[in-house]
């Protein structure tokens, strides 16, 4: 669901103007990261590449569900897959995404301690 509201003034990040296209892309990225299982997948990938069966074992989630969430993360540009023999090894596209997730976890745990 995309908001149709116009911003009230120039939106900036690090003193650089941010256009609507960038805001929409950021929203799509955050939507891709919004499911708890996807956050858990990203946290697993912080330690390096993993194939589907490793994620299934680590997260105790059925393989079809892991594959479905990996497709969402892949289409959003969060992870990429590289074939290794019969398996695909998934890894994070870059560290920025890891920071988003770890900062959100840190924030959530700080709120729970108050």
User: What is the full DSSP assignment across 56-70?
Assistant: HHHHT--HHHHHHHH
* Confidence (pTM): 0.80
Which helix H or strand E contains 92, and what residues bound it? Answer: strand 87-92
Q: Are 55 and 67 in contact (CB under 8 A)?
A: no
Helix, coil or strand: residue 94: coil
In this prediction, residue 71 carries a pLDDT of: 96
Kindly report, residue by residue over 5-57, the tens digit of the pLDDT. Answer: 555 556 777 767 788 888 888 888 888 888 999 999 999 999 999 999 999 99
- Name the one residue in this structure whose structure tokens are 């919004």: 34
Helix, coil or strand: residue 74: helix
In this prediction, residue 18 carries a pLDDT of: 80
Asked: is 39-113 a CATH 1.10.340.30 domain? The reply is no
């Amino acid at each position: 669901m995309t908001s149709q509201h116009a911003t009230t003034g120039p939106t900036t990040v690090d003193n650089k103007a941010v256009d609507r296209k960038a805001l929409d892309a950021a929203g799509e990225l955050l939507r891709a990261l919004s499911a708890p299982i996807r956050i858990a997948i990203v946290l697993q990938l912080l330690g390096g590449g993993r194939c589907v069966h490793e994620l299934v074992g680590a997260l105790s989630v059925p393989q079809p569900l892991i594959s479905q969430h990996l497709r969402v993360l892949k289409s959003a540009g969060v992870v990429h897959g590289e074939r290794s023999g019969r398996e695909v090894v998934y890894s994070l596209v870059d560290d920025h995404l890891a920071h988003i997730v770890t900062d959100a976890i840190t924030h959530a745990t700080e709120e729970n301690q108050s």
